[in-house]
Structure 1
Amino acid sequence: MRHRAVVLALVLVVAAVAPTAGLAAAQTEDGTSTAQESCTFPYSATDATGANVTLEEDPERIVTLNPSAAQTMWEIGAREEVVGVSQYASYLEGADEKANVSGANGPSVEKVLDADPDLVLVPNSTYGLAKDRVEQIRDQGIPVYVFGTGTSLEFVANKTETIGRLTGNCEAGQRTADDIRESVRLMQEALADEEKPVGLNVFYGYTSGNNTFIGDVMTTAGLRNGAAEAGVSGFAQLNDETVVQMDPAWIVAPEGSPIPSNEAYNSTTAIQKGNVVRVDENNLQQPAPRSVDAAETIMQAVHPEAYEEYQSMKQQANQTETTAATETADTTAQTTATATTEETGTGAPGFGVVASVVALLGASLLARRR
């Protein structure tokens, strides 16, 4: 009976003390829980098609039908959850280890289903071109989320948050989105007093006008979007007469894309001065986190002094954030240690009473053996 009584005492004390220790570790300095209650499942959201998408559990197998969604998963540190990608995501490190779910003129329904996904992420462009195929996937009971059309870097940040939430990577999604917004803010601050020359985006006979994320990348980097000012909306072709009238001081083009070599383009200030900015197409052409890198590339070429100021501001912000995080961690650790010392009467964080009872139990059992 004495043995059972001591064991019961041990169980009761562990039950009383262990939750307290766990709670202290899971609280911030202001006493709020760090547990992501808003990142729980089941979770429902309405996508760009108006469809209600419900995820009963945290999805572990993700198929991305566009490279921007895949890039986002990579950037939030969730690439291991991706089991299928489109052929255009092959530039991502490790993408060759994933199933290629592309087919002729769009996604392959069969390949997507073979990947056995818990969630399929779909771009607006793919849905517009292959709606029937996407609906076939959805008809199999697989959650399918379709995104809207990217129009800005803020859209990219919001999309990053959404992907993080859908895939159960809320903290990483929020952190990456905040980094995008902070980079944009710092660029705007560094460029506040700079004159903004006219820029023209050119890619394979098209340009980016109003309501395009590429146009927003350019203006964020310190250019005026000449195509937008000429009344171009979305992605469209541009006639030579408009190019001459616009006379862009800078041309922005993805690497590998040819610049028209005709009288109209050759007459522009951009061509005559050699002001052509080549940008990694995977950064420039995709509404995903690396589009900030595209803006930085443009800014460095067009406004080198402001770019240096931006980098300095960014470094300072990172140092401040690191210092604040360190101080918070130290304060939290000190508060936790003090609280547990007061509760247990020992310097051991939350285990003083347990240790005492364990010692008592050991002595009792030893006495019984003797």
Structure 2
Amino acid sequence: MNKNGRLDFHTYFQAQVEKDESVGRVTTFTHGIYTISTESNTLTGELSGKFHYNCHQVSDYPAVGDWVVFQPFENDTKALIHRVLNRQTLLSRKKAGTSNDEQVIAANIDKVFIVTALTKEFNERRLERYVQQVYESGAIPVIVCTKRDLCENVEEKLASVQRAAPGVPFHAIDNMSGGGVEELSKELISGETISLIGSSGVGKSTLINRLMNKSVQSTQEVRSSDDRGRHTTTHRELFQLLNGTYIIDTPGMRELQLWGDEMMVDTTFSDIDELATNCKFRNCKHEKEPGCAVRIAIESGELEEERLKSYNKLKRELFRLDLKDRYGTHKTNRMLHGSNKNEFLHKLD
């Protein structure tokens, strides 16, 4: 326990607060209104005019999981937010559309449960993208495979999980009966914060209800034709479990546009990165170079060709994102489609 009375208010955040300042954690955000939780009560918060004035980009605004300094009023029922404490970790994605803006999913998280169903929804390439974004956030990825009871080839699917995310812990569960949830509960540590991410219909809300041991999130049936669900969860929300773990539920994602640094791709694809250390040439592109350890692994069946394609795709996607950030969308498109295309793509090594 710390002086604030909350297990999640770690020394990293305590050091940023003056003695007389009021501080709380954002638990929800909808339509410009924040819900702020403190050790003793819950307040409805809004941003001060100065805060708005000093914000230069979308990611500067408070997100669910953020710690904020505020001024209480109306008998401690409302709050005026003055600043956001420096974040320890930040889970983001590129905002959908043609803009080059960052969209914050959750702040100050220790682990991310990447939830995927072991049914039609399962996709190795999508799983790689999720793992990539979690590593970029600074949090620890954990893969939660739901609907185990509806899968006829569980071991085969779990082998696919291991190929897509080498070294990442994974758990197969049945949300309805609770099978496997006890083992998953070992990932829940008092004082830590976990965020759930995944597509609609994979069972995030059902999992939240089971971990909370009560119904706090509504659930819906998924379509049998494509195993997809509707957006049951419409906003991000932070809950506290009985053991002192904090957990953030998020709306289902149709797609995950990456945000971050291409260098982190090597962490996600640690198997390719390790193989590449044995390539004959240091700047090997893993295409037709002699002595390429990655190509040898593909030919022997040790590594799938599709995984290498995914590796290159994610690198290029993040490289383009970096160029757009530096030069703008139009200039980047000209560079990548003009005579200098090969020169720029060569920087991927």
TM category (shorter chain) comes to under 0.3
TM-score after normalising by structure 1: 0.26
Q: Based on CA coordinates, which of the two structures has the bigger radius of gyration?
A: 1
TM-score after normalising by structure 2: 0.27
Q: Structure with the greater relative contact order (CA < 8 A, sep ≥ 6): 1 or 2?
A: 1
